[in-house]
Structure 1
Amino acid sequence: MIEMKLLRQIATYAPEYQGVKDILLANDKIIAIEDHIEASITGIDIEEIDGSGKVAVPGFIDSHFHLLGGGGENGFHNRTPEVQLSQLTTAGVTTVVGVLGTDGVGRDDMALLSKARGLETEGVSTYIYVGSYRLPVNTLTDSVIKDLMAIDKVIGIGEIAIADHRNGAPTFTEFAHAAADARVGGLLAGKAGVTNIHVGPGKSRLSFIRQALEETDIPVSNFYPTHCERNEALLDEAIAFAKAGGVFDITGSENPDQTYELDGSIPFRRCLKRVIDEGLDTDCITMTSDGQGSLPIFDENNHFVEMGVGSSKSLLTGVKESVEKENIPLETALRAITSAPAKLLKFSKKGHLKVGFDADIVLLDEDNLTIDTVIAKGETMVEKGTAVKWGTFEKSEA
């Protein structure tokens, strides 16, 4: 059965601005983008969506999300819950990459894979990294390479922790071997094969990555460090990493200025502005939410202070602030949550509004950039800012 939608006369960002267009969808694909489309097919109803007062952008890619929840650093009662479908879609996320964090015991890769498959069935696109903070990597099969080759949803390893007291104190050799296996597995499977790297607050910062680039032949593109907004010294190292051809990630915040005041984390908008001022290609920076992950804060003695929880809503906050506070063009800010992660992670049909690409589209209000409509794989998930498609065990608020 063919289901078709026609978005009429909508300002279109692919993420590059395309002008006012009609966008025609058939099932889960974009099949036409034109100045004006006349479509009539006998026996098929075409749902028309009025694009006046809205902008169409690619569905958001959140490439660092704790689908199973995270936390536990202050005891079992601090374990955060699993994500539900509508928590992703109402934030504009149509593609998500699941990770494990500190706890790779109470939660494991099989449970993560199962959760990802469940969310895929409910309507969004999902992938995972195998492993957790610690090395060696716990795998689903008997090796990292085999996981990448045999399991469709596995695109790399992570989040491997460096510069963090919770990482099990891995040696550089362990780190390099894991990254090399991810590289080879990616090559054999035609996947990104990245090592997603949690960069903690330790003074060693990106030293393991620098050493790997100096002492091994692993390409810079296989290292994907995140949490690079922690402080100016770490951001400086991330900028140097980008100048060497790398891509680094910033963890978004729903209240960036408050977060900066509390722990010194630099707002995404300022990180992006720094990239632009340095003359770098903006594909070198992405933004993720660390969603459902606990956000523990430790004192100078590594004692737990307090806990927060990440949300994908931080993605749009970062984009809006970039536009409104730094005067960065919308098409530039959008890249960090659309085309840039799609390029790095080899999502060949994601991150752009193009003919033949997946029908993952977010409609924003033209005046305030709030979410109006979310379409994932051609199915409407959100209308007028409210979820209309719910997860299996969610209850409608209606």
Structure 2
Amino acid sequence: MLTLLKNARLYAPAAMGLKHLLITDRRIAAVLEPEASVDEHFPGLEVHDLEGRRVIPGLVDPLVHMTGGGGEGGFGTRTPELRLEDAIASGVTTLVGALGTDALTRTPANLLGKVRELAAGGLSCYAYTGSYQLPPVTLTGSVAEDIVHIPEFIGVGEVAISDHRGSQPSAHELARLASESRTAGMLAGKSGIVFIHTGDAEGGLEILREVARTTALPIAQFMPTHINRTAALFEDGLRFARDGGRIDFTTSTTQELLADGEVPASEAAARALKARVDPSRISLSSDANASLPRFDAEGRFVGLEAGRLDSLFEVLGECVNDHGIALEVAVGLASTHAADALGLKRKGRLAVGQDADLLVLGDDDWAIDQVWALGQCLHRRDTNR
């Protein structure tokens, strides 16, 4: 099937003005000027006139707890799995799944099955092997084997540092893990990224700096998230990014976490850009379906709420509408930069040869009118299909 999307006000993410997009074989075949001659009666050509609405790349979320998370307060506090219909409506067309605190009742095999379930529904889905703790849980027996032999595994994570729920890894242990993941990624043509869960303990990101100082591993092999968790960690993250590292802000939150000192993700993004951090070093993730727990001063569980996948699109809107970040810059934070960090070369941009993952935005409000993934329209706001 050939599909022509006419009169798209394109952000690719660069603002490109009015364009026509020709889609075939799940990818963008051509980006045409409005005056280009196209035979709309060509057999099999499906034509959609977007009437000048904004079109952006589908969002890329580097941290989704597809199989649920939680459990820090006992079995009754486990959070649910991500539902396909919620994923499609969120505007996130590329998801990367992870295990978290619980790698005992939730397993890599369970995660891989969920990845393939969501992919069967039309989304692009990947995963990290491992979890918070070291040694990492794997499907085949090793991180390297998982990354090399299982297409969906692109790296290892979410490995916890500076958090009482982690295994308190040493710099040597992290270096060994990152080396294994990096080498396996090179062999498999993947990023081999080490995705890092950062807690609020005093050490912050220092252990990642130690690995970079004492080994040949590049600091950008690590992708630490939750950098907006506290004001102190946010400032540490800015220094980390200026030193060549990547930082990821979490879009899911609660009023309690904000009251405890978390920096709202859109504010964190705006402040980082104002501080002249290289935008390509900044990304956003939802932490969807994870637990957002609270602990008292003694580390005792107080309560939790679940992360939301649609928070990524909400925060993208806050970046644009509340903080004045240009849409083409904000789209990079919610799509392009994560795709680059994760080595997903056909994601995060709208250009010839790229996967046809895109969002059509509403004219008069910050909302998603249409979600297209791999050349198929999976969701329309007017028909909800």
Answer yes or no: same fold by TM over 0.5. Answer: yes
The residue that corresponds to 1:28 in the other structure is 26
Residue 260 of structure 1 deviates from its aligned partner by: 5.8
Q: Corresponding residue for 2:66?
A: 67
User: Which of 11, 14, 39 is matched with 1:13 structurally?
Assistant: 11
Give CA-to-partner distance per residue, 1:22-66, whole Å, 9 cap, x none: 111113111111112443387733222221252100001111000
Name the stretch that deviates more: 177-186 or 262-271: 262-271
Q: Does residue 294 of structure 1 match 2:291?
A: yes
Tell me which amino acid in the other structure corresponds to 1:22. H
Is residue 259–residue 265 contact of structure 1 (8 Å, CA) maintained in 2?
no
Q: Look up the equivalent residue of 2:129 and give its one-letter code.
A: V
Give secondary structure in 1 for the equivalent of 2:96.
strand
Find the partner of 2:270 among 273, 276, 286.
273
Counterpart of 2:167, as a letter, is: G
Pick closer, same or farther for the CA change 1:360–1:299 going to 2, 3 Å: same
- Determine if contact 2:360/2:370 at 8 Å carries over to the other structure: yes
Distance 2:163 2:253 in 1: 24
> CA offset at residue 236 of structure 1?
1.1
Q: How does 1:216-255 map to 2 (within 5 A)?
A: 216-253=215-252
Using structure 1 for the length normalisation, give the TM-score: 0.93
* Alpha-carbon distance, 1:223 to partner: 0.4
- For the 8 Å contact 1:128–1:154, the answer to whether it is kept is yes
Return 5+ residue gaps in structure 1 as ranges.
Answer: 389-398
Q: Is 2:111 aligned against 1:115? A: no
**What is the correspondence of 1:156-171 to structure 2 with a 5 Å cutoff?**
156-171=155-170
Deviation per CA, 1:218-276, whole angstroms, max 9, x where unpaired? 11121000000011111111111111111110000377xx4664332111222222222
Q: Which of 305, 309, 314 pairs up with 2:311?
A: 314
Q: Secondary structure at the match of 2:56?
A: strand
Q: Does 1:176 align with 2:175?
A: yes
Q: CA RMSD in A?
A: 1.6
Q: Distance in 1 between matches of 2:173 and 2:337?
A: 29
Identity %: 38
| TM-score of the aligned structures, taking structure 2 as reference length | 0.96
Instruction: Decide which moves more: 286-295 or 263-272.
Output: 263-272
Gaps of 5+ in 2: none
Higher mean alpha-carbon deviation, 168-177 vs 346-355, is at 168-177
- 1:395 match: none
- Residue 326 of structure 1: aligned partner: 323
Alignment-derived partner of residue 213 in structure 2: 214
Q: Which residue of structure 2 aligns with residue 89 of structure 1?
A: 88
- Which deviates more from structure 2 when the two are superposed, residues 259-268 or residues 297-306? 259-268
1:189 aligns with: 188
Question: Contact 2:181–2:192 (CA<8 Å) still a contact in 1?
Answer: yes
CA contact (8 A) 2:258 2:264 kept: no
- Judge conservation of contact 1:371–1:385 (CA < 8 Å) in 2: no
Shift of 1:368: 2.1
SS of equivalent residue, structure 1 residue 275 = helix
Letter in 1 for 2:355: D
Contact 1:260–1:267 (CA under 8 A) maintained in structure 2: no
SS at match of 2:126: strand
Aligned partners of 1:4, 1:297: CA distance in 2, in Å?
50
The DSSP-based 3-state class of the residue aligned with 1:279 is coil
